[in-house]
Amino acid sequence: MLGTEQLLGTKDVTATIAVKNLAAARDFYSTKLGLTPVDSQESQVLVYKSGSTTIMVYESQFAGTNKATAATWTVGNDIEAIVAALRAKGVPFEHYDMPGMKRIGDVHVAERMKAAWLKDPDGNILALVTG
Separation CA 105–CA 94 (nearest Å) = 11
For position 93, which CATH number holds?
3.10.180.10
Q: Is the pLDDT of residue 3 over 90?
A: no
Specify whether the CB–CB gap between 14 and 51 falls below 8 A: no
Q: Is the pLDDT of residue 2 over 60?
A: no
pLDDT of residue 44: 82
Specify whether the CB–CB gap between 48 and 105 falls below 8 A: no
- The structural domain count of the chain equals 1
pLDDT digits (tens, 9 = 90+) for 37-87: 997 666 789 999 999 899 999 999 999 899 999 999 999 999 999 999 999
Q: What is the CA radius of gyration of the chain?
A: 16
Structural domain of 23 = 4-129
Task: Read off the DSSP letter of residue 31.
Answer: I
Read off the pTM. Answer: 0.88
pLDDT digits (tens, 9 = 90+) for 26-39: 999 999 999 999 97
Specify whether the CB–CB gap between 49 and 38 falls below 8 A: yes
